[in-house]
A and B are shown apart, each in its own frame.
Chain A
Amino acid sequence: MRRAMSWICLLAVVLASAAGCLDELRFYLRSDPKTFNPALVDDDAAETIRYLTGGVLLRLNRQTQQVEPELATAWKVSKDGRTISFQLRKGVRFSDGTPFGAQDVKFTMDALMDPALHSPTGDALRTGAGKVTAVVQGVDRISLTFPAPVAGLERLFDQVAIVSASSAKKEMAVLGPFYVTDYKPGAYVALRRNPNYWKHDEAGHSLPYLDAVKLEIQGNRDIEMLKFSRSEIHLINGMDADYYDRLSRSAPGKVRDAGPSLDSEQMWFNQVATAPIAPYKLDWFRSRNFRRAVSAAINRDDLCKVVYGGHAIPARGPVSPANKYWFNTQLPQARYDPANAMQLLREDGFRLAGGKLLDRSGHLVEFSLVTNAGNRMRERTATMIQADLRSIGITVNIVTLDFPSLIQRISESFNYEAAMLGLTNVELDPNGQMNVWLSSSDEHQWNPRQKTPATAWEAELDRLMRAQASAIEATARKRDFDRVQAIVAEEAPFIYLVNKNTLVGVSPLLEGVVPVSTRPQTYWNIERIRFAAERASNGK
């Protein structure tokens, strides 16, 4: 009995010390994931879980921004852009051992494309009315036919995590490098290495290198920064410039500036005809000269320097230069030119009187700028814009609102004059912005849900976006979307302010982290990230 107890104690010690030797990556989620169903992901936390656990047919390499084979070893898109055929990888199993095959792809697509699901990924694939047909052509061959051509079709499969058709664990049986082992709401999500993960490195060692990932749930950026500087967490996947500067002073080796991100900050004026604002103000906002004058009066270089500490670049349009293929390099730089601003305003009958700008009817040029409260960078940006426009006689009243109130004003009641928000570009392909540029769409922020385009240039935007969506040839699409960006620069329905840089924190304990501008910035190659001490150890 005593000997048995000794063995049990020894085993317990070994297990405990083995647990303590786990290579566990730790970083924070800013909120609880709303779902573990990969088809319903629409928040950052759930997207992180999906990325770490989901196996996809094709993966967008975040560094090269090119599509690469993943669970599909080969694929072919038909000439009409409606059908994509996949050759699937053989011998792959889900985390619970269930074999992967074409039936799982069909099951996933059938669920994803169910209109009742209201999946953002499904909606992105749903380019026309009608069903998506999945034809299983063998255990490892499948073709999917869409009712209408889907431009950039293959890139969209980066967000389609394949779910098992036969596993009892449903969406918890995964094909990605990790699987969820524990979830304590409000506290953490724990993931373990998927023992059935199909990838190997060049030396034949199975991936991922890490044993576990622990995602603690913490929305407070100060706590995140403190824990990171104490090495209690290993990554910060995006931080504000002032935290970056603080950390770069105290721990310069721990932070990286990966250059411009895909995101932008912009403001726009309300052009909705039925908006409850003064008609003379609506006239201002509908004037191209007025919008361009406001744009010219904003000192973007100062915004980048003061608000973002130099970790941003002036924005030129809806696409950041970080989007290598789709960015229109011919777009002019937005120059700070108050003289030009005044000239544009004079052309529209505005004049200065006693340091204040008046319109042709003698109304004082004053408008409110709404934005969301709690975003320190955005509030500072608004204050700087207020000061810049004051120098040309325009009075701006800044109103910071909680998000639901803001959404109600800009999307439902249209009871606002100007608004400022950030644009988070999840996708590289311009199709992801279709709903922004189509005049009939809800996301056409300055004047949504138009029955017919209110202006000729909006009609042209509609035509161009539809043309690029149905074109299969890349150069034709590029030409059309370049023209969209040029029109937007001329007409300035959105006044683009800055493209923020991707600022991340990476522990020096880690190897293999290559920060990029596309999400997820630090762990996009999670299977190849490891702790530096592992270099000398044996492969698994």
Chain B
Amino acid sequence: MRTARTIGLMLASLIALASFGGSLLQRFDYSRQDREQVSAGPSQEHWLGTDALGRDRLARLLHGTRVSLTLAPAAAGIALLLAFLAGATPGFVGGASERVAKIAIDLMLSVPWLFLLLMVRAMLPLNTSPAASAAITFLMLGLLGWGMPARILMARAQRLRRSEFVVLARASGVSRWRLLCIHVMPNLRPVLLAQFWIAVPVFILAEANLSLLGLGVAEPLPSLGSLLQELETVLSFRGDACSFAALLVMMLMVGSLQIAFMKHEVS
């Protein structure tokens, strides 16, 4: 297991280094269109071939990975922080706050927030830069994506509230806030980590879908999500394995980080 974690960490670092380092090299220009080599296979000039506009696929992959790997985990962090505040805290405290939080979470999970996203787009200037648009999109995802983790954290916090060590600590006079931060939080960490590793790929994909609403990463800046969207049509299945490079990178990244941060061993 330790070996697996090491390998996972090394793979994740390699991908991160490649994407951050490679995207700084001028050779990898993600927006240059080679209009004579459109949808081309791998070659000396374009190692992973080109996309439908003749842009170097490797360059777009490197830049897109950098964008998504910077912003998606940040969005997941925001979502989990809100989930902790709106789910775990009321779940631990109980009473009226717990009841109100349940209603808020249910509404969060069921109301069509796409209209709110449309309003956000309407309020943004049309000339928002691609980078700013990307950041705002992931911020919105973080602000709207806390419902499911909050529900689960609430259930766990409710269980912990009734556990023996918490009862003992309360009887000893430990304050609720101290209990929450020092003693309960470590017990919530596995749940938080599980939710984090679910949220990251979900947000990467959700960002691409938000381009339908005018949000998301704007052209010509790529993101992993927009590269993965190319797989949504039968046209991508043309015997060219390079179309799947983005999927492979995302799986490797998410999978290797999951293994790297797995704390326990199965006995």
Residues facing B in A362-382 (CB within 8 A) are: 366-368, 370, 373-374, 379-380, 382
Residues B35 and A225 in contact, CB atoms below 8 Å apart: no
List, in ascending order, chain A residues with CB within 8 A of B218's CB: 397-399
Residues B38 and A417 in contact, CB atoms below 8 Å apart: no
Q: Which residue of A lies closest to B54 (CB)?
A: A306
Q: Which residue of B lies closest to A382 (CB)?
A: B219
Known A379-B219, A386-B220; contact A397-B38, beta-carbon cutoff 8 A: no
Known A225-B234, A386-B219; contact A370-B126, beta-carbon cutoff 8 A: yes
- Interface residue count on the B side (C-beta < 8 Å): 26
> Does B128 reach chain A (CB closer than 8 Å)?
yes
B27 CB to closest chain A CB (Å) equals: 18
List, in ascending order, chain B residues with CB within 8 A of A370's CB: 126
Interface residue stretch chosen among B9-17, B18-26, B180-188, B206-214: B206-214
B84 CB to closest chain A CB (Å) equals: 33
Quick one: CB contact mask for A212-231 with B, threshold 8 Å, 1 for yes? 00000000011001100000
> Does B129 reach chain A (CB closer than 8 Å)?
yes
List, in ascending order, chain A residues with CB within 8 A of B128's CB: 397
List, in ascending order, chain A residues with CB within 8 A of B126's CB: 368, 370, 397, 399, 415-417
Other-chain residue from A243, A373, A386 in contact with B214 (beta carbon distance below 8 A): A373
List, in ascending order, chain A residues with CB within 8 A of B121's CB: 401, 405
- Interface residue count on the A side (C-beta < 8 Å): 33
A397→B129 CA distance, assembly (Å):
7
Residues A384 and B33 in contact, CB atoms below 8 Å apart: yes
> Does A34 reach chain B (CB closer than 8 Å)?
no
Residues B118 and A402 in contact, CB atoms below 8 Å apart: yes
> Does B235 reach chain A (CB closer than 8 Å)?
yes
List, in ascending order, chain B residues with CB within 8 A of A380's CB: 52-53
List, in ascending order, chain B residues with CB within 8 A of A44's CB: none
Residues facing B in A244-258 (CB within 8 A) are: 246
Other-chain residue from A221, A374, A387, A416 in contact with B33 (beta carbon distance below 8 A): A387
Other-chain residue from A222, A242, A374 in contact with B52 (beta carbon distance below 8 A): A242
Interface of chain B, main secondary structure: loop
List, in ascending order, chain A residues with CB within 8 A of B220's CB: 383, 386-387
Residues B234 and A402 in contact, CB atoms below 8 Å apart: no
Residues A302 and B35 in contact, CB atoms below 8 Å apart: yes
Q: Which residue of B lies closest to A383 (CB)?
A: B219
List, in ascending order, chain A residues with CB within 8 A of B193's CB: none
Known A380-B52, A399-B218, A405-B118; contact A373-B31, beta-carbon cutoff 8 A: no
Known A399-B218, A401-B121; contact A373-B53, beta-carbon cutoff 8 A: no
> Does A90 reach chain B (CB closer than 8 Å)?
no
List, in ascending order, chain B residues with CB within 8 A of A379's CB: 219
> Does A400 reach chain B (CB closer than 8 Å)?
yes
Q: Which residue of A lies closest to B31 (CB)?
A: A387
Known A222-B233, A222-B234, A382-B219; contact A401-B213, beta-carbon cutoff 8 A: yes
> Does A360 reach chain B (CB closer than 8 Å)?
no
Interface of chain A, main secondary structure: helix
Residues A400 and B211 in contact, CB atoms below 8 Å apart: yes
A402→B53 CA distance, assembly (Å):
23
A415→B127 CA distance, assembly (Å):
12
> Does B263 reach chain A (CB closer than 8 Å)?
no
Residues A383 and B35 in contact, CB atoms below 8 Å apart: no
> Does A449 reach chain B (CB closer than 8 Å)?
no
Residues A368 and B127 in contact, CB atoms below 8 Å apart: yes
Residues A373 and B52 in contact, CB atoms below 8 Å apart: no
List, in ascending order, chain A residues with CB within 8 A of B211's CB: 373, 400
List, in ascending order, chain A residues with CB within 8 A of B238's CB: 246
A32 CB to closest chain B CB (Å) equals: 21
Q: Which residue of B lies closest to A413 (CB)?
A: B122
List, in ascending order, chain A residues with CB within 8 A of B234's CB: 222, 225-226, 246
A399→B54 CA distance, assembly (Å):
21
List, in ascending order, chain A residues with CB within 8 A of B35's CB: 302, 305-306
List, in ascending order, chain A residues with CB within 8 A of B127's CB: 366-368, 397, 417
A412 CB to closest chain B CB (Å) equals: 12
A373→B219 CA distance, assembly (Å):
12
For B118, B121, B126, B238, the residue with the greatest tally of chain A CB atoms inside 10 Å of its CB is B126
A232→B127 CA distance, assembly (Å):
46
Residues B219 and A398 in contact, CB atoms below 8 Å apart: yes
A302→B38 CA distance, assembly (Å):
11
Known A306-B54, A384-B33, A387-B220; contact A246-B118, beta-carbon cutoff 8 A: no
Quick one: CB contact mask for A387-418 with B, threshold 8 Å, 1 for yes? 10000000001111110010000000001110
B128 CB to closest chain A CB (Å) equals: 7
Q: Which residue of A lies closest to B237 (CB)?
A: A246
Quick one: CB contact mask for B219-261 with A, threshold 8 Å, 1 for yes? 1100000000000011100100000000000000000000000
A384→B33 CA distance, assembly (Å):
8
Other-chain residue from B54, B122, B212, B233 in contact with A400 (beta carbon distance below 8 A): B212
A328 CB to closest chain B CB (Å) equals: 30
Other-chain residue from A305, A373, A382, A386 in contact with B213 (beta carbon distance below 8 A): A373
List, in ascending order, chain A residues with CB within 8 A of B233's CB: 221-222
A365 CB to closest chain B CB (Å) equals: 12
B113 CB to closest chain A CB (Å) equals: 14
Residues A306 and B53 in contact, CB atoms below 8 Å apart: yes
Residues B213 and A402 in contact, CB atoms below 8 Å apart: yes
List, in ascending order, chain B residues with CB within 8 A of A225's CB: 234
Residues facing A in B1-54 (CB within 8 A) are: 31, 33, 35, 38, 52-54
List, in ascending order, chain B residues with CB within 8 A of A302's CB: 35
List, in ascending order, chain B residues with CB within 8 A of A243's CB: 235
A383→B35 CA distance, assembly (Å):
12
Q: Which residue of A lies closest to B52 (CB)?
A: A380
Q: Which residue of A lies closest to B32 (CB)?
A: A387
A457→B127 CA distance, assembly (Å):
31
List, in ascending order, chain B residues with CB within 8 A of A226's CB: 234
Q: Which residue of A lies closest to B212 (CB)?
A: A373
List, in ascending order, chain A residues with CB within 8 A of B118's CB: 402, 405
A252→B129 CA distance, assembly (Å):
44
Residues A246 and B212 in contact, CB atoms below 8 Å apart: no
A374→B53 CA distance, assembly (Å):
17
When A and B form their complex, which 10 residue pairs have the shortest distance between CB atoms, in order from nearest?
Answer: A368-B126, A401-B214, A222-B234, A373-B212, A383-B219, A398-B219, A397-B127, A368-B127, A302-B35, A387-B33
Sample of 17 A–B contacts (CB below 8 Å):
A221-B233, A222-B234, A302-B35, A306-B52, A306-B54, A367-B127, A380-B53, A386-B219, A387-B31, A397-B129, A400-B212, A401-B121, A401-B214, A402-B214, A405-B213, A405-B214, A417-B127
> Which A positions have Cβ atoms within 8 angstroms of B?
221-222, 225-226, 242-243, 246, 302, 305-306, 366-368, 370, 373-374, 379-380, 382-384, 386-387, 397-402, 405, 415-417
Taking A374-B212, A386-B220 as known contacts, 17 extra A-B pairs with beta carbons closer than 8 A to each other, sorted by chain A number, are A221-B233, A222-B234, A246-B234, A306-B38, A306-B52, A306-B54, A367-B127, A373-B211, A380-B53, A383-B219, A397-B129, A400-B212, A401-B213, A402-B118, A402-B212, A405-B121, A415-B126
> Which B positions have Cβ atoms within 8 angstroms of A?
31, 33, 35, 38, 52-54, 118, 121-122, 126-130, 211-214, 218-220, 233-235, 238
